[in-house]
Amino acid sequence: MQYKKNLGQHFLKDQNIVDKLVRHINPSKYDEVIEIGPGDGVMTKSIINKVKKMILIEKDYDLIDNLKSKFS
């Protein structure tokens, strides 16, 4: 996957960091979460099944189909 510098993209790759963030967020089945800039969905994958509802907002059209196929 190529980063688009004009969009200021940085993709989270380290699963240890993702796990720490998710523990800090402490999502519950009652939460509704909005993720802005989910990229390739690394954080999304770790949260989506723990919450009531999750909305993804992605500006990069090249990433949207991939996200739809993973999470729809």
Name the more confident of 30 and 7: 30
Q: Which strand (E) or helix (H) includes residue 22?
A: helix 15-25
Backbone angles phi, psi at 10, to 5 degrees: -140, 125
Check residue 17 and give its pLDDT: 96
Can you give the CATH number for the domain in which 46 is found?
3.40.50.150
pLDDT digits (tens, 9 = 90+) for 16-68: 999 999 999 999 999 999 999 999 999 999 999 999 999 999 999 999 999 99
pTM recorded for the entire structure: 0.86
Residue among 62, 7, 53 nearest 30 (CA) = 53
Question: Of 33, 70, 68, whose CA–CA distance to 50 is shortest?
Answer: 33
The count of structural domains within the chain is: 1
For residue 67, give its domain range.
5-71
24 and 49 in contact (C-beta within 8 Å)?
no
